[in-house]
Amino acid sequence: MAVRVQVVDLDKKKTEEIVLNEAVFDAPVKPHLLHDVVKMQLANRRQGTASTRTRSEVRGGGKKPWKQKGTGRARAGTRRSPLWRGGGTVFGPKPRDYSYRVPRQVRASALRAALSSKAQAGRLIVVENLSQERPSTKGFRGLLGRLGVEGRALVVTNQVKKDDAIARSCRNLPGVTLLPAQGLNVYDILKHDALVITRDALGLVGEAWKL
């Protein structure tokens, strides 16, 4: 059965109806694939910069604190011992790379499943074009309201320019993320309640991720 969606203008008035690529927007939703890819994306975003000092890196400890015998205290050879306050840390975190990869076929299947879940839930909004004469956060919020977007929204366009009016309008809106079609990913699709995509970007996505 063909998957159809309405293309609307910025006032949510229907301009036409198009047929979506079934391989991309009517794929089976497999939760385990979504889990694997989201887990990979979050791991790849970890900075891995946490670091602690071992006993060889903390300051001091060059001199034996007291003589070996005769003081009544336990033997000690350095103030840098992990047993002491201010000493080194045992098995503490060190900078590391948490990133890993899953097969491209798995990533592609997960992305198709995420897009299909939005289409099946009626959370896919296709607009003819997104444009504003000047940057306006309030104006862009009103635009999303006219489109019937509630909650968090992922806005996907053909390309994103930092100085573009749309980019500057939505960057201060909480819960709104702007991405180019090439940057579409599983985590951002699932994180947001609605997917707002321009018709040009929809064509790029359908072509890039078809079987």
DSSP letters spanning 113-160: HHHHHHHHTT-EEEES----SS--HHHHHHHHHHTT--S-EEEEES--
Q: Domain range holding 62? A: 47-97
Evaluate if residue 118 carries a pLDDT over 80.
yes
Q: Which of 59, 77, 97 is the last residue of a domain?
A: 97
pLDDT tier for residue 211 given thresholds of 50, 70 and 90: low
**Helix 31-45 / helix 104-120 crossing angle, nearest 10 deg:** 110
Question: What is the rounded end-to-end Cα distance, in angstroms, of the chain?
Answer: 17
Q: Which of 97, 119, 135 is the last residue of a domain?
A: 97
CATH of the domain at 20: 3.40.1370.10
110/22 same-domain check:
yes
pLDDT tier for residue 161 given thresholds of 50, 70 and 90: confident
pLDDT tier for residue 1 given thresholds of 50, 70 and 90: low
Phi, psi dihedrals of residue 158, rounded to the nearest 5°: -60, -45
Q: Total domain count for the chain?
A: 2
- Tell me the three state secondary structure of residue 186: helix
pTM equals: 0.84
